[in-house]
Amino acid sequence: MVRFVNHLAVGFAAVKEVTGNMLGDKKVTVVFVLGGPGSGKGTQCANIVEHFGFTHLSAGDLLRAEIKSGSENGTMIESMIKEGKIVPSEVTIKLLQEAIITSANDKFLIDGFPRNKENRAAFENVTNISPAFVLFFDCSEEEMEKRLLGRNQGRVDDNIETIRKRFKVFIESSLPVIEYYNGKAKVKKIDAAKPIPEVFEDVKAIFAPYAPNAA
């Protein structure tokens, strides 16, 4: 565990064709991306979408849209985010499932989920997805904090107190997910502290098989 605590930003991507009952007859390719707060996964997702034709589904964006809808779930989600807590799996899985079903695309980049062991188990049980590999973004807490405080997006979770709560939740909940996949030899680590273009060069090497002109 110590070797991971010193590198708090984590990201993973898992690729798998889905053919289960969740989507009926629709066959899709799903890539999960998970990273510590401020690790740059949103930026890299945008690059992957542009170069490899995936539809980007951000678990965080879907949750924030639910908050804006004023629903009962939205009120609960807002309260949990302010406390730096993780939203129940069934809520996020339902939002992701609806987004996949209603999209015309068949390649999806999902970031921000799963974030803990229970998330992972629930998603695998519902979708029958077993990750093909894990993309691990490595970045220091100091760098992530600097990025979050500098982006000034006006989000409820972009203040120093909540940011540090999110770091704590990340260490306690998400690192075991990385350890689980590391035990299966499915982790590929990328240095997320490097400049964005350099990080994407590493990402492109992983996603090369999904390029439009790939055989």
Q: What is the rounded distance in angstroms from the CA atom of residue 143 to the CA atom of residue 206?
A: 24
* 56: amino acid identity, one letter: H
Binding site for a ribonucleoside 5'-phosphate, residues?
64, 85-87, 112-115, 155, 166
* Amino acid identity for residue 1 in this structure: M
Q: Which residues are annotated as a binding site for ATP?
A: 38-43, 151, 194
Show the DSSP H helices in the chain as ranges.
Answer: 2-5, 41-52, 59-68, 72-82, 89-102, 117-127, 141-151, 160-169, 175-182, 196-207
In the annotated binding site, the residues are 38-43, 64, 85-87, 112-115, 119, 151, 155, 166, 194
**Binding site as annotated, residues for CMP:** 119
Angstrom distance (rounded) from CA 117 to CA 112: 14
State the DSSP string of 99-125: HHHH-S-SEEEEES---SHHHHHHHHH
Separation of first and last alpha carbons in the chain: 40
- The pairing of strands 134-138 and 187-191 is parallel
